[in-house]
């Protein structure tokens, strides 16, 4: 399936703008060291991010526009599928006549093993006249010492930003569920601060 997504709300970046922080606390969790180096190379330059806390990686070693990685889109599919099967598991007829169980216990494994997203770097194309801006919002947390409030800042892409991805399925029986997951994007979305409505998108299948 090839599809084009269009954000109907602003979308916020999720990558740490501090290379040292990204490498030590985020990228270091990956077992694939080559991918860690690849992601480090896509972080914006210091001049480009200034005081941004989270940002969008850049294509072509930081010289091109914003991107998201394939695993970020797969993360959205995992979240969406988890919601769909939270209270009602799906038992599908797989290839060869076997059964494929999709439940709140297996949905992540299903996405990991049977759903693949391309390309590795997914360009985020801003609408004509659009620009990368900043979004600063309060973060609240309940702690043993009471409520704590901090400010978080992220790079923000405008509504109307588009992306194109190709999704390949190793089990065709997952196609109807995949469509439901994509439709969920209009409700929950991608990126940070999704609960506020950021990152919602619509999609259409393309040739």
In the chain, beta strands by DSSP E: 2-7, 11-12, 15-16, 54-55, 67-69, 90-93, 99-102, 115-118, 121-123, 133-143, 146-157, 162-169, 201-205
User: Residue 46 is encoded by which pair of tokens?
Assistant: 């210091």
Residues 174 and 180: beta-carbon distance below 8 Å: no
User: Span 49-69, mean pLDDT?
Assistant: 75
| 133-143 and 67-69 beta bridge pairing | unpaired
pLDDT at 148: 76
pLDDT at 51: 47
Cite the DSSP H helix spans in the chain: 19-21, 33-42, 46-49, 59-62, 70-84, 107-114, 175-184
- Alpha-carbon gap, residue 9 to 12, rounded angstroms: 10
Query: pLDDT-derived band of residue 147, with 50, 70 and 90 as boundaries?
Result: confident
Query: pLDDT-derived band of residue 39, with 50, 70 and 90 as boundaries?
Result: low
Q: What's the whole-model pTM score?
A: 0.81
Task: Report whether pLDDT(84) > 80.
Answer: yes
Contacts of 195 (CB under 8 A, 6+ apart): none
pLDDT at 137: 85
Helix (H, G, I), strand (E, B) or coil at 82: helix
Residues 100 and 171: beta-carbon distance below 8 Å: yes
118-131: per-residue pLDDT in tens?
Answer: 999 999 999 999 99
User: Tokens 């941004």 sit at which residue?
Assistant: 52
Residue 145 CB neighbour total at 10 angstroms: 6
Nearest of 192, 207, 159 to residue 76 by alpha carbon = 192
């Amino acid at each position: 399936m090839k599809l084009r997504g269009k954000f109907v709300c602003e979308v916020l970046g999720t990558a740490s703008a501090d290379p040292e922080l990204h490498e030590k606390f985020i990228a270091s969790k990956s077992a694939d060291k080559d991918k860690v180096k690849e992601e480090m190379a896509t972080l914006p330059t210091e001049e480009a991010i200034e005081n941004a806390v989270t940002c969008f990686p850049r294509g072509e070693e930081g010289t091109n526009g914003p991107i998201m990685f394939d695993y970020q889109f797969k993360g959205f599919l995992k979240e969406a599928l988890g919601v769909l099967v939270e209270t009602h598991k799906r038992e599908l007829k797989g290839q060869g006549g076997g059964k494929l169980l999709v439940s709140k216990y297996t949905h992540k494994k299903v996405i990991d093993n049977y759903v693949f997203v391309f390309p590795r770097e997914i360009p985020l194309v801003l609408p004509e006249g659009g620009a990368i801006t900043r979004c600063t919002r309060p973060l609240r947390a309940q702690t043993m010492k009471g409520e704590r409030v901090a400010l978080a800042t992220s790079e923000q892409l405008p509504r109307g930003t588009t992306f194109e991805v190709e999704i390949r399925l190793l089990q065709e029986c997952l196609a109807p569920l995949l469509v439901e997951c994509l439709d969920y994007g209009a409700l929950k979305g991608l990126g940070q601060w999704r609960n506020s409505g950021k990152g919602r998108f619509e999609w259409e299948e393309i040739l």
